[in-house]
Amino acid sequence: MASLELKQLVKEFGSGASMVRVIHGVDLQVNDGEFVVFVGPSGCGKSTLLRLICGLEDATSGDILLDNERVNDKRAADRGLAMVFQSYALYPHMTVYQNMAFGLENIGTPKAVIEKKVGDAAKLLRLDALLERKPTQLSGGQRQRVAIGRAIVREPKIFLFDEPLSNLDAELRVSMRSEITGLHRRLGATMIYVTHDQVEAMTMADKIVVLRAGKIEQVGSPLELYNRPANKFVAGFIGSPQMNFVPVHAGHGDTIVTAHNASFTKPTQTRPASGTELTLGVRPEHLSLQAADGALALPMTITGVEQLGGHSLLYGTLPGAGGKDGPRITAQVAGQVSTRIGDTATVYASADTCHLFSTADGETVVR
């Protein structure tokens, strides 16, 4: 049971000319019992941040506070955290039992206690029948559970997971996902979970931390991030299929004008000056083939159709300047469609589902 706080955390690798800053002053608060997910594109520093927290890397500057105590100078083992590695990092020469018991043996836990703890964890994870096997004799999902079991027996203050499911096939991923959330509920422990799969992030997290290039872009609950992204990056990162972006500019009053001269009204608090370049964002699932009052009309030239039965995906382009193709649009519409490639179909976006971002810096102008 623990809370975690990061203050202006900075990490640099190398020194001199070859020095690279990977984490740029991160501030973060993780409350007791929370399930926090770090997401972000590959190479953005998710693993590095996790390794800083658990002490496998030393912070260049800034503070790491565990239960309000600064732990920067504590060794990884002494921070009382447990890590589940992406590759599981099971000791290949030890049995499942030995893998789970190793950490407890190292701190001189009595044998009987070890047996009890490992037995309990094994039962919890349905590993009881596999205790005498070596890791190579296990399936991917079983290995994953051993790795988690190894973390559980240590009763850590915080569980850290680094992309624990990325080596599993899609089906197993779904079932392990619910197993981990179930575990979180049962243990009530604080967990920090790294992934670049945004479905995992949306379905598991109490709180999502979106990272980009070593900086936090936004922190919030999954629906907060979906409904009120702080900027174009978060908006594009959360949600699948990805949000559509259409270049627009501010017209008179509250009107917004697209490149193909469609316009609609959207009140903005800041009301940018007429002519300001903006980016309109609208999620595919918010586009519809039915016209509605005050909705923005987007005439698409269809380039692809995917019929999924319950819903359909339409891919197309908007008319651009000078007869060239404009921005690409994806629309997810209910039911089945008769649209073919080459057709023109108009989809409608109601004003309240549209987001506006400043084209200059990507910040949200209004939702």
Partner 1 sequence: MSPIKFLTRTRNGRSLDWTDWMSYAYLTVGLFLMFGPVLWLVASSFKTEAALTEFPPSLLPYGQKAVAVPGEEKPKPVYRVKLPDGTTKELPEVRRIGLVATHVDPAKPEEFIRVNVNDREPVREFRLATENYTDLAGKLKFGTYLWNSVFITVVATLLTLLFNSMAAFALSKYKFAGRKGVFLLILSTLMVPPAIVLVPNFLVISELGLLNSLWGVIWPAVATPTGVFLLRQYMLTIPDELLEAARMDHASEWKIYWRIVLPLAAPALAVLAIFSVMWRWNDFLWPLIVLSKNEHFTLQLALNAFQGDLVTQWNYLLAMTVITLLPVTIVFAFLQKYITQGIASAGVK
Partner 2 sequence: MKSSTARTPWFFLTPNLVIFGVFTFLPIAINLYYAFTGGVQLYPKDRPFVGTENLATLLDCGSYLDPASCKKDIFWRAVWNTAQFSLFQVTVMVLFSLITALVLNRKIIGRGFWRGVYFYPVLLSPVVVALIWKWILQREGVLNAVGVAVGVPQTLWLAEPGWAMFWVIFVSIWAHMGFYTLILLAGLQAIPADLYEAAQMDRASPWRTLTRVTLPLLLPNLLVVLVLAAIKAVQTFDEVFVLTGGGPGSATTFVVQFIYQTGFQEQVRLYGLAAAGSLLLAVALIALTLLQLKISRAEEAGERAR
Ligand X SMILES: Nc1ncnc2c1ncn2[C@@H]1O[C@H](COP(=O)(O)OP(=O)(O)OP(=O)(O)O)[C@@H](O)[C@H]1O
Query: Can you give the binding site for partner 1, defined by CB under 8 A?
Result: 54, 56, 75-77, 81-83, 85-87, 89-93, 102-103, 106-107, 150, 154
Order of strands across the sheet with 244-250? 263-265, 255-258, 244-250, 277-282, 355-358, 364-366
Query: Would you count residue 364 as binding ligand X (CB under 6 A)?
Result: no
- Look-up: residue for tokens 């599981």? 88
Q: Which residues pair with residue 212 across a beta bridge?
A: 215
In the list 8, 13, 58, 274, the residue contacting partner 2 (rule: CB under 8 A) is 58
Least distance between ligand X and beta carbon 237 (Å): 13
Residue 117 Cβ vs partner 2, minimum distance, rounded to whole Å: 28
From 28, 45, 82, 225, residue interacting with ligand X (rule: CB under 6 A) = 45
Site mask, Mg ion, residues 21-60, x = CB under 5 A? --------------------------x-------------
> How remote is the C-alpha of 129 from its chain's centroid?
34
Question: Which partner, partner 1, Mg ion, partner 2, none, binds residue 47 by CB below 5 to 8 Å per kind?
Answer: Mg ion
- Minimum gap (Å) between residue 75 Cβ and partner 2: 6
134 or 212, CB closer to partner 1?
134
Q: Which does 44 bind (CB under 5 to 8 A by kind): Mg ion, partner 2, ligand X, none?
A: ligand X
The residue to which tokens 């023109």 are assigned: 344
Least separation in angstroms between CB 60 and partner 1: 16
Asked if 209 is part of the footprint of ligand X (rule: CB under 6 A), the reply reads no
- From residue 307, give the alpha-carbon distance in Å to each of 215, 276, 313, 332, 337: 39, 38, 6, 10, 8
In the region spanning residues 63 to 102, those forming contacts with partner 2, defined by CB under 8 A, are: 73, 75-76
Q: Is 174 in the site for partner 2 (CB under 8 A)?
A: no
Residue 60, amino acid = T
Pairing of strands 255-258, 263-265: antiparallel
Which tokens belong to 176? 């392990």
**Interface pick for ligand X out of 20, 112, 129, 321 (rule CB under 6 A):** 20
The CA distances from residue 333 to 103, 286, 297, in Å, are 53, 8, 15
56 binds partner 2 (CB under 8 A): yes
Widest Cα–Cα separation across the chain: 79
Three-class DSSP labels, 156-202: CCEEEEECCCCCCCHHHHHHHHHHHHHHHHHHCCEEEEECCCHHHHH
Question: Under DSSP, is residue 96 helix (H, G, I), strand (E, B) or coil?
Answer: helix
List the end-to-end C-alpha distance of the chain, in Å, as a whole number: 37
Partner touching 252 among ligand X, partner 1, partner 2, none, CB below 5 to 8 Å by kind: none
* Window 134 to 163, contacts with Mg ion (CB under 5 A): none
Does 14 contact partner 2 by CB under 8 A? no
Summarize as ranges the residues that interact with Mg ion (CB under 5 A).
Answer: 47
Question: Where along the sequence are the contacts to ligand X (CB under 6 A)?
Answer: 13-14, 20, 22, 40, 42-48, 196
